[in-house]
Amino acid sequence: MAVDPFAFPRSGPLPWDDADRAYAGWVPTVSGHLSFGLIDGRGRCSALSHRDSGTGSRVVVALQKRSAEDFPLPGRVVSSIRQSATQDYLLLAKTGPAVTPYIEGAKIHEQLEEQGVLSGVVLIVPPEEVSQVRIQRNALLDLVRNHVEDVADQCAINPDLDTTTLPLTLLQEFVSARGTIAFHQLKFALFRTGECRIWFDLSDLLGRDISQAPISSVEQIAISALPSQAYYFLKDVIHLHYHHDPQTDQLIDLVATEKTSSLDVRDNQWRIDTLRGLAKVVIEYRQSNRPDSNKKALGLLAYADAFQTTLARVRRQGKLDDPMLENKALIPYDFKHVRASIEALEALNEYRRGALLQLFGILVGVVLSGFALWAGAVQIQPILCNISAERPLCPKVTPGATTNIVNWVVANPLGFVVTLSLFGFAAFILFFRGVTNVPFAKPILRWSKQLSAAVGTTAARLGRGSDAFGFVIQLSFLGLLVIALGLLAYHLVPKNSVPPVVVRSPQASTGPWSALDPYIGRRPRDTGLFTNSIIAPELRDMLGSDYEEFLRLLDVQSPLQRGATLWVVGHANPEARDGAFLLIDQRAQRLEIGLRKHGNLQMYRKTGAILQKPLEVARFIGGSVADVGPFPIATSSCRSQTGGAAGNVTHLSGAMRGLEDCSYRFDLRQGQSLTYNPKLARGLEVYVRPDGSPEIKLSSRFLVAKTGMHTVRVAWERTGTPQDATRPLRPFYVRLNTE
């Protein structure tokens, strides 16, 4: 009768005693009793755990692809480039009877459990680089995967399905492929107490007769490293990692049970090493200042205590049927006091954290209340000023950082949201003392810290062992990363530039057009003066179809400057004489625009007095005799245009209401005369006023007595009745000849 390789012996020598290599470790169980029914709790394997209704034996099969996680990128990503980083692990096992020790009243007891041990094999299948073989290897693994999933599906429908032969069937599939497909086989036994034994003969592990050829260096690495990897795989499949990262598998080490040592030492040492390792890890957690370290330490302490309670206190004898003895070599740890210390530390940390959170709450409350009160005061201030009996003037508010911030917030709502989010995030990190609670932060931390440490260490080695140099390089590297990310974030945020608020110039108006003050000193193209500002609609209305021409003529433009009025002047291109200017009277809210095309100047101006022109605009106008131009019908306007072969005809036109008038400036020489035909200007009156002299009504001809500037004013005839003021807007035209 064939021996079932999955059956664990009830008696006789320990099965791992005769193996070439044997190891012992612990699969943590806080209750002291592992459940073999809870396999692959995280659902990362193709797994089956089925209890045979006849024998009560449980069949466990699990197939998992595992990658080394020691690279800058996740193992699965690395394995797409470097296939060797990922292997397939297959667990084939059955439960069977075994003695389970327990301690009651300081005395060791034993109980035979029918399903007290899970025993079987772990197969590790490396990737294959020869394509033909790789196809066979992958086909075999697919066969196993499909088989396991099919059986699991059938078991869900039929719990009485006989699965007891499944592990052997799958093992035979691999054994029959040996020589073609590489795999490494290790035996294991996992007891209810979590005691885990792994053993193998070298020929099983390497898949060849080792007497035929010496063990190569590559095989030596496999011999030393594979038991630990099989152990990590078993822990991953059987147990969930509650108190540490799943990748941190070495919190409990696998201990080699040396054949050379006595049985006592062999069976005691792994228990002592495991307990010491657990205690060491608990202390390492306690010493860490991470916010969750104390809680992790308490969790691990529970496991250490569970191990110390039973497994650390017993030891096996030479045979399975020998009763377990007390492990007298163990000096127990006082975990009770360690727990008290950690709990006190945690309470202290909680107290500090609570105090910090209160401080945080108070600070946030005070800052927000401060802003709210300030906003309220700003609204109330004018009311209080106005209801006072004496009507005192409100104190002047000097612009400063606060007003600049308020302006910036109003103009940049998205930037404000980003800034607040970053402040909140930074405050969270500051008050919770770390970023590891932030989702996805840990991989970033790990990556950046390890990379920067690698950069710093390499620099230190290149710098002939100067650690300070490496430290500076590490800091510089991190600092550059931070700055680069910060700058990138800054450039991505939508921004509106807001010039700083300045104290109002005495020349500036207090009316709505005072909003133009921030545009001063900057080119209109950069500020949107002609397109987005408060004057833009009026500018379009006045210029009508010439608006685009105006923009074109101001292609090379000066900044907006303040004189008696605000002004800007420019040209179509650097060499062109054609150009335009704009005058803005902030107080009177009036505009005056000049366009020069092909030497002819057209002026656009609102009715009323002529705006005083700065020197630059006067130079721009040059020898033009007239300075006003056409208007849209809906708006009162004064317009002028020079004409005639010698440029001696000036057409004055526009649109005025009853009491409005239009004024024009002429530079005339002594002896020149101004003439017009009153019959062609019915209903109009034309006046001339030399500078420094009274105004004279022009009948038909005016002789210039003295060289200088003359103001010509055109108005509707008035009757002296109230109807003068109510007359509608009407166009007018006067032709003036200069001789």
Partner 1 sequence: MNELLFTALATLLGFLAIILATVFFSVLKAGPKEIAYLRRKRYGLGPWFNGSLPKTSRGATMRELEGIELKAANGRLVHARQTRAPSSELL
Q: Which of residues 457-486 bind partner 1 (CB under 8 A)?
A: 457-458, 460-461, 465, 467-468, 470-471, 474-475, 478-479, 481-482, 485-486
Shorter beta-carbon distance to partner 1: residue 203 or 448: 448
Q: Which residues contact 257 (CB under 8 A, 6 or more apart)?
A: 16, 22, 23, 24, 266, 267, 269, 270
Shorter beta-carbon distance to partner 1: residue 73 or 397: 73
Rule CB under 8 A: say whether 409 interacts with partner 1: no
Residue linked to tokens 């080394």: 68
Residues of span 99-128 touching partner 1 by CB under 8 A: 124, 126-128
Provide the token pair at 248.
């941190």
Residues of span 534-563 touching partner 1 by CB under 8 A: none
**DSSP code at position 327:** -
Applying CB under 8 A, which part among 96-104, 143-151, 490-498, 641-649 lies near partner 1? 490-498
The strand pairing partners of 95, in sequence order, are 118
Distance CA 369, CA 658 (A): 58
Rule CB under 8 A: say whether 434 interacts with partner 1: yes
| DSSP per position, 620-640 | HHTT-S-------TTS-EEEE
Rule CB under 8 A: say whether 329 interacts with partner 1: no
Shorter beta-carbon distance to partner 1: residue 324 or 429: 429
Would you give the distance in Å from CA 76 to the centre of its chain? Answer: 25
Q: Which residues contact 734 (CB under 8 A, 6 or more apart)?
A: 651, 652, 653, 676, 680, 681, 684, 686, 714
Residues of span 205-224 touching partner 1 by CB under 8 A: 206-208, 218-219, 221-222, 224
Rule CB under 8 A: say whether 178 interacts with partner 1: yes
CB neighbours (10 Å) of residue 244?
Answer: 15
Write the interaction track for partner 1 spanning residues 258-297; mark x where CB under 8 A is met and - where it is not: ---------------xx-xxx-xx--xx--x-x--x----
Shorter beta-carbon distance to partner 1: residue 132 or 532: 132
Shorter beta-carbon distance to partner 1: residue 308 or 642: 308
Shorter beta-carbon distance to partner 1: residue 77 or 397: 77
Among residues 152, 418, 534, 729, the one that binds partner 1 under rule CB under 8 A: 418
Residue linked to tokens 């089925």: 50
CB of 202 to partner 1, least distance (A): 12
Shorter beta-carbon distance to partner 1: residue 219 or 627: 219
Strand pairing category for 579-585 and 566-571: antiparallel
Provide the token pair at 311.
């497994």
Rule CB under 8 A: say whether 499 interacts with partner 1: no
Q: 693 in the Ramachandran plot: left (φ > 0), alpha (ψ -120 to 50) or beta?
A: beta
Shorter beta-carbon distance to partner 1: residue 129 or 390: 129
Q: Which of 215, 136, 117 is nearest to 183 (CA)?
A: 136
In three-state secondary structure terms, 237 is helix
Q: Which residues contact 51 (CB under 8 A, 6 or more apart)?
A: 37, 57, 58, 59
Q: How many residues bind partner 1 (CB under 8 A)?
A: 108
Strand pairing category for 561-562 and 566-571: antiparallel
Q: Which amino acid is at 735?
A: R
Applying CB under 8 A, which part among 314-322, 325-333, 433-441, 539-547 lies near partner 1? 433-441
Rule CB under 8 A: say whether 411 interacts with partner 1: no
Among residues 85, 121, 535, 662, the one that binds partner 1 under rule CB under 8 A: 85
Q: What are phi and psi of 260, to 5 degrees?
A: -70, -25
Among residues 426, 576, 633, 680, the one that binds partner 1 under rule CB under 8 A: 426
What stretches of 562-614 show up as alpha helix (H) in DSSP?
Answer: none
Rule CB under 8 A: say whether 72 interacts with partner 1: yes
Q: Which residues contact 458 (CB under 8 A, 6 or more apart)?
A: 470
Rule CB under 8 A: say whether 436 interacts with partner 1: yes
Applying CB under 8 A, which part among 195-203, 358-366, 403-411, 425-433 lies near partner 1? 425-433
Rule CB under 8 A: say whether 455 interacts with partner 1: yes
Q: Which amino acid is at 694?
A: P
Shorter beta-carbon distance to partner 1: residue 86 or 558: 86
Distance CA 476, CA 188 (A): 50
CB of 418 to partner 1, least distance (A): 5
Shorter beta-carbon distance to partner 1: residue 479 or 643: 479
